[in-house]
Chains A and B, each alone.
Chain A
Amino acid sequence: MDWWLVLEWLIKSVVLVLILLTGFAYLTLFERRVLAFMQVRIGPNRAGWQGLLQPIADAVKLIFKEELTPGSVIQPIFALAPIITVVPAVVIAAIVPWGPDVEMFGRTIKLSVADINLGTLYIAAVASIAVYGIVLAGWSSNNKYAMMGGMRSSAQVISYELSLALCFVLVTVLAGSMHAAEIVEAQRDVWFIFIQPVGGIIFLVATLAEVNRAPFDMPEAEQELTAGYHSEYAGMKFALFFMAEYIKMIAISAIAAMLFFGGYREFPLLANTWFSVDVNWWLGPIYMFAKVLVLLFFMVWIRATLPRMRYDRLMSFGWKVMLPLALALVFVTAVGILADLLWIIPVLSLAIGFVFVMLINRSLTMKAKRR
């Protein structure tokens, strides 16, 4: 066994976990500041310069908070559920490449923790087991609101997982590979969001549902379910759920950047210039960070803008709109690849997307008229 390889993996894993954890802490601040900006408030700006020490203050508060465990909960599931929630959130980002291969200390180092040739399948597998923590938390709380939250979450994740998996199929077909680094390299000339814009939008919507973010945050809808699946949790256990949600946001943004926005690669117009990743490898992680930041801003923006969807509408949207649309896109993409006509894919998929939007619009106006 090559011990240097083990050391390399160990260092990369620790770095990734550290990035995700610090990212989580500062994402909470980022979200609060951006929300405040959009709602014409100031937001937390007292602890440190521009509130930069706020996450540390929050962490200290949460650690010293009394951890109350209700007597009616079902142990040990109740104690395990937060951990089960955090683990998939942390490991899902393992395959995302943060930059091109680097020559360092006489070895070629890949800037991703796990370099496997089944990247998209790995994401699908980990994303599908991520719901267990929430479902179990809801069940073991022995509280009807928490249970409703857990059940909503499982139904929602099952429904939107299908469209998500079909988006992985889209990218796999376009790149001709499931390998994360190869998917990124396949976007050297043009990002997949330009070839398959509707697929990118479906992916973003499905991921919002998958990580239970607004407008799909039905599992923790506070007006209906107090706080949903984490109603009974306090102190650090609550913080773990909080952490899982924000880490999932970061991981999902990184995955979206990898699949549709060229990953660590520069904007296609900047190829062969000083700004190209091929010339300066260290620009890769910077581009990745910028893309993740933009996508996170997009998520917060959506939260600030859109009201929560009603539960039955959420389900029928997932099954009756997203799934058929994604299936049609897979068909169109396969046809485009087979006929070797790349330009036909965006044209046809935009047309199909337009037809779907018109149909939704029509059915909604019909419903309104009937009332």
Chain B
Amino acid sequence: MSLELVLFFVLAAIAIATAVGMLISRSTVYAALHLVVNFVSVAIFYLLLDAPFIALSQVAVYAGAIMVLFLFVIMLLGLENIAGELEWKKLLWPLVMAGILLVEGVFLVLQRIGQNVYVGTTGTALSDPSLMARVLFTDYMLPFQVTAVLLLVAMIGAIVLSKPEKKSATPLKPDGAKEA
């Protein structure tokens, strides 16, 4: 067994364990921490696949920015413990949807078992930032710009939603709370 295979199985075990841990944790802080470990182990998967750029972006964006924001919000609003029992009736539709996605995912995995994975030239593009940038800004220009517009829309939406109504007499929050 090669070193990479050992690493893969150890990482896979960690990734699955932390994903399950995130789902079943009673405390939201622990759930968030499980997710952080999960993100980092996925980043190491990317490293094993010779894609260090995506690995480091994964750490910087997901583990570094988004999860810090999650933790910040959890602590700011004091939501450490989820109160109350699960209401299964409300969860019906999400469960059905998740079930469909799961079946789809398992089907795709089963379909691809035994097939050779074609990595081709993208392997070098994924490790060299300048090559990657060239591919991103030529071949994938349209998806890139669509993503940018999508993010801009989300940002504007967040600003509109968080804007305090003028009629209410509540004092303005400090800037930190507003912008985070």
Listed in ascending order, the chain A residues whose CB lies under 8 Å from chain B are 77, 116-118, 121-122, 124-129, 131-132, 135-136, 138-139, 147, 150-152, 154-155, 157-159, 161, 165, 176-178, 311-312, 315-316, 319
Contacts and interface: CB of A to CB of B under 8 A. Distances in A.
Nearest to A319: B179
Given A121-B129, A139-B29, A155-B72, A129 B64 contact: yes
A124 B58 CA distance: 11
A319 to B, nearest CB: 6
B127 interface: yes
B59 A125 contact: yes
Given A118-B129, A121-B56, 12 more contacts: A117-B127, A125-B56, A125-B59, A129-B63, A131-B68, A139-B75, A150-B75, A154-B72, A158-B72, A158-B180, A315-B176, A319-B175
B159 interface: no
A140 to B, nearest CB: 9
Contacts of B130: 176-177
A266 B72 CA distance: 43
Contact of A135 (B56, B57, B71): B71
Interface in B57-74: 57, 59-60, 63-65, 68-69, 71-72
Interface in B124-180: 127-130, 174-176, 179-180
A159 B179 contact: yes
A117 B56 CA distance: 12
B52 interface: yes
B31 interface: no
B20 interface: no
A312 B129 contact: no
Given A128-B68, A155-B180, A311-B176, A135 B75 contact: yes
B8 interface: no
Given A121-B57, A315-B179, A135 B68 contact: yes
Contacts of B56: 118, 121-122, 124-125
Interface residues of B, number: 27
Q: Please name the 6 residue pairs, one residue from A and one from B, whose CB atoms are nearest each other, closest first.
A: A128-B64, A125-B60, A125-B59, A315-B175, A315-B176, A121-B56
B76 interface: yes
12 contacts: A117-B128, A118-B129, A125-B60, A128-B64, A135-B71, A151-B75, A151-B76, A154-B69, A158-B180, A311-B174, A311-B176, A312-B175
B53 interface: yes
A152 B76 CA distance: 10
Contact of A128 (B53, B60, B174, B175): B60
B15 interface: no
B36 interface: yes
Given A128-B65, A319-B179, A312 B128 contact: no
B60 A151 contact: no
A151 B176 CA distance: 10
A127 B59 CA distance: 10
B77 to A, nearest CB: 11
Contacts of B36: 132
